[in-house]
Structure 1
Amino acid sequence: MTDLNSWVEALEAELGLPPGTVDVGAVLDLARDAAHSVARPAAPVTTYAVGFADGLAAAGDLGATASSGPDAAEKAISLAARWVAD
C-alpha cells in the first residue's frame, strides 16, 4: 500500500485537494463491490459516478435529493448488492 499511499498523496497535491481527502479504503471497497456484483468494468465507472455526485452536491448543483458522501457510496453499494439478487 506504500506505493498507493504515495500515489494518492501526490494525486491530492496535483489536484489541489487537501491531504487526506481521498478515503482509499472506502474507494477500494466501493470498487470491489461493484466489480464483484456487477462486472469488473463497473468498478471505475461506479467510483467515478459517486465522486461526480459528491462534487455536484458539494457545489450545490444536485438539489435536495442529491446523494453525496457516504450516502452516495452506500446507495451505490446497495444497488450493486441488489443487482446480484435481481
Structure 2
Amino acid sequence: MTDQTPRAAEPGSSTLDRWVDALEAELGLPPRSVDVGAVLDLARDAAHQVARPAAPVTAYAVGYAAGLAAARGDGSDALERATAAALSWQDPGPSGARADAGSGS
C-alpha cells in the first residue's frame, strides 16, 4: 500500500513537493502517485543524452503511454523503456532520417 500522506506534510518539504501534491489533486490523481525521483531521472537522461527540450517531451510521452495502458487495464513500463531509450540514444543525424521527412508530402 502506498503512503497517502501529502509530501508537503513531511518536514523539509520543498516547493516541488507542494507543487506535486497540488498537481496530483488538480488532475485527480491519488496522493503520491507521481514518482518524482523517477521522473526527474528520466528528464535528466533525456536532456543529457538527447537534447534539453527532450526532457519535457519525453516526460509527457511517458505519461501519455502510461495513461493509455491504465485505460486498457494494463500496467506500464513506459518510464523504464523511455529511460533505456534515452540512455542508449545515438542520433542518426539528418542522413538517418526518413526520405520523406521534410518533403511536405
Q: Is the 8 A contact 1:37 1:80 kept in 2?
A: yes
Q: Cα RMSD over matched residues?
A: 2.1
Q: Is the 8 A contact 2:43 2:59 kept in 1?
A: yes
- The structure, 1 or 2, with the larger RCO (C-alpha pairs under 8 Å, 6+ apart) is 1
Letter in 1 for 2:52: R
* In 1: Cα distance, 2:85 partner to 2:70 partner: 22
Q: Which runs of 5+ in 1 are unaligned?
A: none
Go from structure 1 to structure 2 and tell me whether the alpha carbon gap of 1:16 and 1:67 turns closer, same or farther (over 3 Å shift): closer
When the two structures are superposed, what TM-score results if normalisation uses the length of structure 2? 0.69
- How many equivalent residue pairs? 80
CA contact (8 A) 1:53 1:67 kept: no
Larger helix proportion of the pair: 1
Determine which of 34, 38, 52 is the counterpart of 2:50: 38
Where in structure 2 are the equivalents of 1:22-61 lying within 5 Å?
22-60=34-72
Distance 1:77 1:4 in 2: 22
Matched residue, 1:78? 84
Unmatched runs of 5 consecutive residues or more in structure 2: 1-12, 93-105
2:25 equivalent among 13, 19, 44:
13
The one-letter code of the counterpart of 2:23 is L
* Displaced runs of 4 or more, over 3 A: none
Q: Distance in 2 between matches of 1:40 and 1:49?
A: 15
Query: Given the two structures, how large is their TM-score scaled by the length of structure 1?
Result: 0.83
Larger Rg: 2
